[in-house]
Amino acid sequence: MDTDTTATNGNARLDMVQKKICLVGVFGTGKTSLVQRFVQSIFAVKYHSTIGVKVDRKEVLVDRVGVNLLLWDLAGRDADQDISPSYLRGSHGVFYVADGTRPETVHELDDLRRLVTDAIGAVPSIAAINKADLAADWKFTPADEQALLARDFQVIHTSAGTGTGVDDAFNRLARFVLAARPPHAT
């Protein structure tokens, strides 16, 4: 899945790599909305559950290296269905997505990371605490954030609704993934 090619940007030549990024989390945390905001700059209020996986792509530039991000939006975890390890294989990075208005989704992050690590080993990751625009309903406290940081999560607050933190989160993960080269063996 890691491909090095050369692309041109005007007169400058850029290295181009392809990286698979998986978004994992409990159902309804906004994984699909984050991808739509990042890839298409849109937000839809209407909610549709992802079934299986939906793949999108977007190219970003990191230190003069073009990175073609293959974004695997995995169906949300619930009481009846876990995340399939086969979808995780070949991933270079992971977004753990939680809903800042639903503390139980934050409490799932450690278990989700264990599931990912058991399936593919340690890869660069970010914990996106989503729905930051819903201030009146926000339940993610500074103590919650400190607890995640103490457990080596990279935390960023995002809002698919307003776009706050979304580009920063994806670009930061792209940077982490590039810094982790050579790629994780599959």
Segment 11-70, tens digit of pLDDT: 454 678 999 999 999 888 999 999 999 998 877 766 666 655 678 899 999 988 899 999
Segment 86-104, tens digit of pLDDT: 889 999 999 999 999 999 9
What letters, b where the CB count within 10 A reaches 16 and e where it falls short, cover 11-31?
Answer: eeeeebbbbbbbbbbbbebbb
Q: Domain spans of the chain? A: 4-179
Short-list 4, 154, 164, 156, CA closest to 68? 4
d(CA 175, CA 67): 9
d(CA 129, CA 153): 11
Segment 72-81, tens digit of pLDDT: 988 766 655 6
Architecture of domain 4-179: 3-Layer(aba) Sandwich (3.40)
State the CB neighbour count (10 A cutoff) for residue 46: 4
- Report the predicted TM-score, pTM, of the whole model to 2 decimal places: 0.85
